[in-house]
């Protein structure tokens, strides 16, 4: 009676230990090591290349906050220097890929019926314009009340003279 029981147990234990050790180690090692390295390195690429990624959204919001803080630290210096315009352009370029930017733009286009509010031309090369420029208040970046639909040509006319158009555009939307 004792011999078969003992044999069974040893066999059972032996196999169980062998199996678990074979199953667990390679799996956990592969998943944890590769998974960690892959996500850390690719997260940045993913958020840049694919704005639809949920993780990318969170990163984008964090980036926006970081940009806000940096710009608020020395707004006067930045505004006076020529680098400031380059900074805004860089932010705008990045924003185009973001879901929030696209959503903001779509809401404004729909509200304005895909029509340039300055010359009345419908469709064509439309661009969303920030009525109160971002260099004045970056927090209005996704504010629908601060957006207006302009055609490419009219938008060019406002560059560098955004302040002069604020009242006009606020009355148009």
* DSSP code at position 25: H
21's tokens? 């050790």
Minimum distance from residue 122 beta carbon to Zn ion (Å): 10
92's tokens? 């705008």
Instruction: Assign 55 to helix, strand or coil.
Output: helix
Which span sits near Zn ion by CB under 5 A: 17-25, 47-55, 86-94, 152-160?
152-160
Rule CB under 5 A: choose which of 151, 158, 165, 169 binds Zn ion.
151
Rule CB under 5 A: choose which of 38, 119, 144, 159 binds Zn ion.
119
Minimum distance from residue 137 beta carbon to Zn ion (Å): 24
- Burial class for 158, CB neighbours closer than 10 Å (0-12, 13-18, 19+): buried
Rule CB under 5 A: choose which of 116, 131, 141, 148 binds Zn ion.
116
Minimum distance from residue 95 beta carbon to Zn ion (Å): 22
With left for phi above 0 and alpha for psi between -120 and 50, is residue 71 left, alpha or beta?
A: alpha
148 is a site residue for Zn ion (CB under 5 A): no
Cβ–Cβ < 8 Å for 109, 128:
yes
> At residue 11, what are phi and psi to the nearest 5 degrees?
-60, -45
* Binding-residue pattern over the window 73 to 112 for Zn ion, x denoting contact by CB under 5 A: ----------------------------------------
118 is a site residue for Zn ion (CB under 5 A): yes
126 is a site residue for Zn ion (CB under 5 A): no
Task: Tell me the C-alpha distance between 51 and 100, whole Å.
Answer: 9
Minimum distance from residue 106 beta carbon to Zn ion (Å): 19
**Which residues bind to Zn ion, rule: CB under 5 A?**
116, 118-119, 151, 154
């Amino acid at each position: 009676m004792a011999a078969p029981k003992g044999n069974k147990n040893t066999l059972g234990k032996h196999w169980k230990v062998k199996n678990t050790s074979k199953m667990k180690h390679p799996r956990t090692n592969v998943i944890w090591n590769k998974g960690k390295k892959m996500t850390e390195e690719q997260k940045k690429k993913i958020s840049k290349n694919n704005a639809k990624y949920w993780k990318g959204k969170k990163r984008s919001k964090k980036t926006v906050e970081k940009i806000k803080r940096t710009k608020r630290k020395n707004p006067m210096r930045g505004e006076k220097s020529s680098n400031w315009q380059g900074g805004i352009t860089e932010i705008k370029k990045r924003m185009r890929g973001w879901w929030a930017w696209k959503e903001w733009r779509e809401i404004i286009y729909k509200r304005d019926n895909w029509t340039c509010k300055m010359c009345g031309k419908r469709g064509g090369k439309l661009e969303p314009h920030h009525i109160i420029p971002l260099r004045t208040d970056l927090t209005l970046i996704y504010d629908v009340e601060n957006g207006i639909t302009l055609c490419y040509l009219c938008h060019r006319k406002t560059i560098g003279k955004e302040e002069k158009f604020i009242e006009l555009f606020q009355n148009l939307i």
